[in-house]
Amino acid sequence: MTDAERAGFWRGRRVLVTGGAGFLGSALCHALARHGARVTALDAMMEDGGANRANLEGASVMLVRGDLRDTELHSLCAGTEVLFNMAAQTSHMGGQRDPVADINVNAVAQVRLIGVMREAAPEAAVVHASTRQFYGRPEYLPVDEKHTVNPPDANGVSKWAGEQYWLLESRVLRRPVVSLRLTNCYGPRLRIRDARQTFLGIWIRRVLEGEGFEVWGGEQLRDLTYVDDVTDAFLRAAEAAPLVGGRVFNIGGPPPASLLEIAGRLVAANDGRGHYAVKEFPADRAPIDIGSYHADDGAFRAATGWSPRVGLDEGLRLTLDWYRSRLADYL
């Protein structure tokens, strides 16, 4: 799909983005608004989440503050043509500490949203933000969609349940639902005050502040996806939903690198300024660590023509440059 064709597809289309003030949700809102969609962003604006009002600055988007667990949803969902379902509790340690709250957000609230969408927007396509976490420690690499599901933590269980409710909706009611299982994503608007969204968040903060950061282990492989490539994947999934509805897809990135290599390349992207120390994996986190992971995303590439365009070095440089003048808004 050319840029002109994409703009034609989205122009005037009514879109709801849950988690719309968060990292990935806000990136989608900016892209959709640029293409002329009529976008509503729903976000609970929770302090321990990824939401930030600064994330939507400059976007022609209506932001509604509300929690999927108790907000009146019918009026928000009415007439929606595409739902990007980005709202989630993503902290693995947070899920371990409070699994009830975790499953209420990631699964129970999803059932509530599904029920409202049945009444208010029965024809809407849905793209659901899922995760590679529930594969657990990989049995083989790269990991494809046929890999055994073996969640290593409470967050993996709740995210798996939420995804399965949406896929059930597709099987039973034929709603076009596409679920994208994401790996570590990074880029502008990522939560960087701590590591709740990804280890790379706190690394970026430390580098920009001139402080050292810790690499736990170091040999683990990861594939990282730059936010613009993630956004493109979600748009393509929605555009192709009538053809690929009911399917799950892994989303990866450029060739994987070890955490030690990523750390070195982050410092290099900062013109060599920065330092880090290699530490043993903390004992409280080791049981839920998945080791090395990188995705086989060939199915999604074949179905939609998607491929990541931003390499790791370019993405790290773009990310650091974006935060330099905005750091205070993200601490």
List, for residues 153-173, the tens digit of each pLDDT value. Answer: 889 999 999 999 999 999 999
- Confidence check: pLDDT of 68 > 70: yes
Question: For residue 183, is pLDDT > 90?
Answer: yes
Is the confidence at residue 95, as pLDDT, over 70? no
Q: Residue 146 pLDDT > 70, yes or no?
A: yes
Mean pLDDT computed over 188-193: 96
pTM (2 d.p.): 0.96
With bands split at pLDDT 50, 70 and 90, how would you rate the model's confidence at 279?
very high
More confident: 88 or 120: 120
Mean of pLDDT values over 292-306: 98
Please say if the pLDDT value at position 211 is more than 80: yes
CB 166 within 8 A of CB 110: yes
> Is residue 286 scored above 90 in pLDDT?
no
- The pLDDT of 67-83, averaged and rounded, is 95
CATH superfamily of the domain spanning 3-189+225-253+295-310? NAD(P)-binding Rossmann-like Domain (3.40.50.720)
- What's the mean pLDDT in 234-250? 97
Structure confidence at residue 301 (pLDDT): 98
Whether the pLDDT of residue 92 is over 80: the answer is: no
Lowest mean pLDDT among 37-41, 99-103, 315-319: 99-103
pLDDT beyond 80 at 202? yes
Work out the percent of the chain whose per-residue pLDDT is above 90: 85
Q: Assess whether pLDDT exceeds 80 at residue 93.
A: no
Task: Work out the average pLDDT over 64-85.
Answer: 96
**Per-residue pLDDT at 186 exceeds 70:** yes
Give the tens place of pLDDT for each residue, 21-30. Answer: 999 999 999 9
pLDDT band at 210 (very low <50, low <70, confident <90, very high): very high
**pLDDT band at residue 284 under the 50/70/90 scheme:** confident
